[in-house]
Amino acid sequence: MATVKEIYNLYLKGFGLWKISEILSSGKIPPPKSSWSPQTIKRILTSKVYLGTTVQGTTMKQSYKSKKTIRFSEEKWTVTENTHEAI
């Protein structure tokens, strides 16, 4: 949670996605996957979850036999606002 708050603070101070990823990488903050990338930072900044919103029904498995998923359009998502405290 502290890392996400730091990302928001850096972005509000005017740092770009690339610079934020460099700062996090040099600060020895463990990344969610292999490394901090601008794409990861963008995904965090645009996620509605950090605004206190729960989003469900965004994807569905194509089949129980397959690992492929189908992504639904935003109109089909179930969005519930103010379900938890926003950052």
* DSSP state letters, the chain: -HHHHHHHHHHHTT--HHHHHHHHHHTTPPPSSSS--HHHHHHHHH-GGGGT-EEE-SEEES-TT---EEEPPGGGSEEESSSS---
Model confidence at 29: pLDDT above 90: no
| pLDDT attached to residue 56 | 94
pLDDT digits (tens, 9 = 90+) for 54-79: 999 999 998 889 889 999 998 999 99
> Does residue 32 surpass a pLDDT of 90?
no
Give me the percent of the chain exceeding a pLDDT of 70: 100
> Per-residue pLDDT averaged across 33-49, rounded?
91
Q: If you count them, how many residues does the chain have? A: 87
